[in-house]
Amino acid sequence: MPKPMALVQYSKCDPAKCPDGICPAKNACTKKVLKQDAPYEKPYRISEMCQGCTTCVSACPLGAIILA
């Protein structure tokens, strides 16, 4: 079975509700696999390097990141 990885649920994600439009989950990701091109843009996972550590899940104030 493949290891779980972080997935952004875009229907729940609203960077306008995050401080300065910056996703706290992106900043919490120790592997830097979550990226956000600019403030107020939705973050995305750029690689399969996700360790499934749940740090980003805990950091997202909107509950928009899950492990799947």
Q: Across 1-68, where does the E strand assignment appear?
A: 6-8, 34-35, 44-45, 65-67
Looking at residue 46, its pLDDT comes to 82
Q: Which of 34, 38, 14, 16 is nearest to 26 (CA)?
A: 34
Tens-of-pLDDT digits for all 68 residues of the chain?
Answer: 788 999 999 999 999 999 999 999 999 999 999 999 999 999 999 888 999 999 999 999 999 999 99
Domain definitions of the chain by residue range: 6-67
Task: Please report the pLDDT score of residue 47 as a whole number.
Answer: 82
CATH 3.40.50.720 fits 6-67, yes or no: no
Counting Cβ atoms within 10 Å, is residue 60 exposed (0-12), middle (13-18) or buried (19+)? Answer: buried
